[in-house]
Amino acid sequence: MKFSDFLKTYANHPIYQSPTGSALNARSWQTEAPLRMLLNNLNEEVAENPDELVVYGGTGQAARDRGSLERIIKMLLDLDEDHSLLIQSGKPVGVVKTHPEAPRVLIANSNLVPEWANWEHFEALKARGLMMYGQMTAGSWIYIGSQGILQGTYETFAACGKTHFDGDLTGKLIVSGGLGGMGGAQPLAATMAGAVFLGADVDPKRIEKRLETRYIDKMTHSYEEARDWTLEAKDRGEKISVGLVGDIGDLLENLINDGIVPEVLTDQTSAHDPVHGYVPNTLTLDEAIRLRKDDPVKYKELSLKSMARHVGYMLELQRKGSKTFDYGNNLREFAKQGGEPNAFDFKGFVPEYIRPLFCEGKGPFRWAALSGDPEDIFTTDQALIEAFPENTHLINWLTQAKEKIAFQGLPCRICWLGMGEREKAGLIFNDLVREGKLKAPVVIGRDHLDCGSVASPYRETEGMLDGTDAVSDWPLLNLMSNTAGGATWVSFHHGGGVGMGYSQHAGMVVLVDGTERAERCIQRVLYNDPAMGIFRHHDAGYKDATKVGERFDLLI
């Protein structure tokens, strides 16, 4: 197929879709895979705003601009196995000589020297077309829709239930804000964990998308209706999720006035970006869009004040008994800047609930069926169930996922696997491809939110035992080990879900195409990647990580 015909078929802006099936468009699966995942990131079923190349998080892009995107596509179609493509903040900038087991694509997004690592400098560069925001999996081409954060959210809610409610969230109300590409996973995760969910978002289109994909059960513009639906479900011990069109601060204020104290309270608004993410409670959505363009300084001022108000209500509900935690969007820091001095009086979700999993090398292991056939995912589901019969938590997750999760774009799956398990799963998948039990190769990746891939003092590395919350040597070592190990593409980003100046993180994806080359790469990458989590947490003094490290003979 000619390049022009390929663009018309798969990248006719703003309509993007991944090729499917077993036929190659590129020279090999090593470049076909990143090409398909890039286009899948921009599929309207997956992306928030394909017209602006925004995948999720309000500003997280897959490529810097249309011209850069088309050049990336052309390079991936032509690239051979002895070269690698360099991507600098969404723009292809060169090709280097490598070898068949080296990464085919090397990506760096949004990285700035620390003194200049702030939104103001970033926005000045972006306005000149010199940079883009890569979020976590947007600019690394491994976003898989709301399912990508779904299991992590499920694991968090389940851990919260285990910690505070004897493992039973039946009849418990979870309240949160933000129902976009990341927060949209909350309602389904809550009901899968057994709870009732009430969430607010100012953009009705976001809630409508969650309805279409079966991530949420009901939608309303009426607070009273949303309140009554959820209270009735609580009383009956039923599981239901409700999306309210409106401001989360207003929702919390109304709950307080009505004397309603949710058992669990968190937030997933786009609070990492006070200008292009969060919407101040004083503005309608249309007014917010205009003010962002006309007066971003005024907009930020209003946004910070609204976050302070928002967190103030969260603190009040915490005092009344809600189990309250930050879900990693930097809401507390910006609320503090907006005038709430006690913003950090509730902790983040990682130190509260997830860090014990990180100490085992566990994290969000995800894969995509490049064939486009859902049956390939169901085949891998069953293979994992048979491979880990003792892991009842995993089996329960995979069983529910098959029943309840609607695929967005290419069929994908995610589950949390740890040291030893990831490598085993990858080799099983490679055998399935080689034996023809899958119709085409798959790719294995993960969220950048993982056990050893990120430094983020207000999220993944908050409250480390040894005080090394802000040490970003670890994600850099992760990047280098995955590059040396032979991941198919790797990435290193700045900002992620908490914003410029607050996080650095690394990503990786490895191709599973049934070959001996893939087997060698899988054995290295899916060993090294979770091992980084063990190294990092053992070094910080976590005894559980030391035990796991000793079991796998990792420690020196």
Token pair for 166: 């004897």
pLDDT tens-digit readout, 450-489: 999 999 999 999 999 999 999 999 999 999 999 999 999 9
Residue 118's Cβ-side half-sphere holds a number of Cα atoms within 13 Å equal to 4
pLDDT of residue 149: 85
Both structure tokens of 316: 């009040």
| 377's tokens | 């995912």
pLDDT at 166 over 90: yes
Give the ranges where 196-295 is alpha helix by DSSP (H).
204-212, 223-236, 248-257, 285-294
Q: Which residues are catalytic?
A: 415
Q: What is the pLDDT of residue 344?
A: 97
Q: How far is CA 284 from CA 22, 256, 279, 551, in A?
A: 47, 23, 8, 55
Q: Which amino acid is at 268?
A: Q
Identify the sign of the CA torsion 218, 220, 225, 227. Answer: positive
Strands (DSSP E) contained in 22-131 are 54-56, 60-61, 83-88, 91-97, 105-109
**pLDDT tier at 446, thresholds 50, 70, 90:** very high
Question: At 26, is the pLDDT very low, low, confident or very high (cuts 50, 70, 90)?
Answer: very high
The token pair that represents 274 in the structure block:
């006070």
pLDDT tens digits for 359-418? 999 999 999 999 999 999 999 999 999 999 999 989 999 999 999 898 999 999 999 999
pLDDT at 112: 98
* Residue among 112, 128, 136, 143 nearest 46 (CA): 143
| Euclidean distance between CA atoms 400 and 298, whole angstroms | 46
Domains of the chain as residue ranges with CATH: 147-346 (3.40.50.10730), 362-551 (3.40.1770.10)
Start-to-end CA span in the chain (Å): 52
Judge contact between 350 and 330, C-beta under 8 A.
Answer: no
pLDDT tens digits, residue range 336-365? 999 999 999 999 999 999 999 999 999 999
Q: How far apart are CA 230 and CA 225, in angstroms?
A: 9
**In the prediction, which pLDDT does 148 show?**
85
- Assess whether pLDDT exceeds 90 at residue 121: yes
Tokens for 460? 């993944």
Return d(Cα 188, Cα 406) in angstroms, integer. 11
**Position 444 confidence tier, pLDDT thresholds 50, 70, 90:** very high
pLDDT of residue 312: 98
**Does residue 97 register a pLDDT over 90?**
yes
Q: Tell whether the model's pLDDT for residue 1 goes beyond 90.
A: no
Scanning 2-65, the segments in alpha helix (DSSP H) are 3-10, 29-41
- Region for 413 from its dihedrals, namely left if φ exceeds 0, alpha if ψ lies in -120 to 50, beta otherwise: beta
* pLDDT tops 90 at residue 181: no
pLDDT band, very low/low/confident/very high, at 58 (cuts 50, 70, 90): confident
| Average pLDDT over the chain, rounded to an integer | 96
pLDDT at 258: 98
Structure tokens, 169: 């969230």
Q: Which secondary-structure segment (H or E) carries 512?
A: strand 504-512
Asked whether 305 and 339 are in contact (CB, 8 A), the reply is yes
Say whether 88 sits in a helix, a strand or coil.
Answer: strand
Confidence check: pLDDT of 90 > 90: yes
Sorting pLDDT into bands at 50, 70 and 90, what band is 265? Answer: very high
Q: In terms of Cα–Cα distance, which of 184, 196, 271 is closest to 236?
A: 196
246: phi > 0 → left, psi -120 to 50 → alpha, else beta; which?
left
3-state DSSP call for residue 101? coil
| Cα–Cα distance, 257 to 472 (Å, whole number) | 44
Query: Quick check: 6 and 25 in contact, CB under 8 A?
Result: yes
Average pLDDT of span 492-511:
96
> Is the alpha carbon torsion for 460, 454, 139, 130 positive or negative?
positive
Contacts of residue 35, defined as CB under 8 A and 6 or more positions apart, other chains included, come to 19, 25, 26, 73, 76, 77
Q: What is the pLDDT of residues 271-303, one digit of tens each?
A: 989 999 999 998 999 999 999 999 999 999 999
The answer to whether 354 and 157 have CB atoms below 8 angstroms apart is no
* pLDDT value at residue 418: 95
C-alpha span between 462 and 470 (Å, rounded)? 9
Q: Tell me which amino acid residue 3 is.
A: F
Mean pLDDT within 537-544:
98
Q: Each residue of 97-131: b (16+ CB within 10 Å) or e?
A: ebeebbbbbbbbbbebeeeebebebbbebbeeeeb
Mean pLDDT calculated for residue range 89-100: 98
Q: Mean per-residue pLDDT for 39-64?
A: 95
Residue 420 CB neighbours (<10 A): 17
pLDDT of residue 98: 98
Three-class DSSP category at 293: helix
Question: How far apart (Å, rounded) are the C-alpha atoms in residues 155 and 153?
Answer: 5
Mean per-residue pLDDT for 149-173?
94
pLDDT of residue 151: 86
Helix (H) or strand (E) holding 242: strand 241-245
**pLDDT at residue number 57:** 86
C-alpha to C-alpha distance for 80 and 531, rounded to whole angstroms: 31
Kindly state the average pLDDT of the residues 27-32. Answer: 98
- Looking at the DSSP assignment, which residues form a beta bridge with residue 15? 12
Q: How far apart are CA 202 and CA 247, in angstroms?
A: 6
Q: Please state, in angstroms and rounded to a whole number, the distance separating the CA atoms of residues 484 and 22.
A: 29
pTM of the model: 0.90
pLDDT score of 538: 98
In the chain, pLDDT over 90 holds for what percent of residues? 95
Q: How confident is the model at residue 172 (pLDDT cuts 50, 70, 90)?
A: very high
* Residue 491 three-state SS: strand
